[in-house]
Amino acid sequence: MASREDLESFISRLNDGVNSEEVDAGIWVLSPGDDRAQIVVSYDPPVVVFRVNVMDLPKVAGQRNDLMKRLLELNAEGLVHGSYGIEGPRVILSDALQLENLDFNEFQASLDSISLALASHMAGLAAFQE
């Protein structure tokens, strides 16, 4: 099973331009060098959890319903790892991987999938922001 130290090693191996900070024991914030959202990585055995705050939910019920429908469509058609969800007043993108056989390639693939989803989907989701 991948350990907390293994995750630290994986994070240190990420491409240049990704800054990381351990903000609490087993919780890192990854900040790409560009304007992409920060990704929080949490060591929570038996899984590692990836999470990004995407946007606030619209206050108008019709817009909120349209956004939720769109998020479900994106989950079905456009995500390899993870899914969009609602947490309180926020839209999040999250993923969880088992630590049992986790290696660097799987860790990197999950981060890449999240980054690609954000880059591909944000322009369309921006129409729902107030």
Which segments in the chain show pLDDT lower than 70?
Answer: 33-36
- Sign of the C-alpha dihedral computed for residues 114, 116, 117 and 118 taken in this order: positive
Maximum CA pair distance of the chain? 46
pTM value? Answer: 0.91
Element (H, E) at 89: none
| Orientation angle between helical segments 104-125 and 4-12, nearest 10 degrees | 60
Sheet strands side by side (includes 39-44): 18-24, 27-32, 39-44, 47-56, 90-98, 83-87
* Spans of all domains in the chain: 4-125
pLDDT in tens, 61-89: 999 999 999 999 999 997 888 999 999 99
CATH number for the region 4-125 comes to 3.30.1460.10
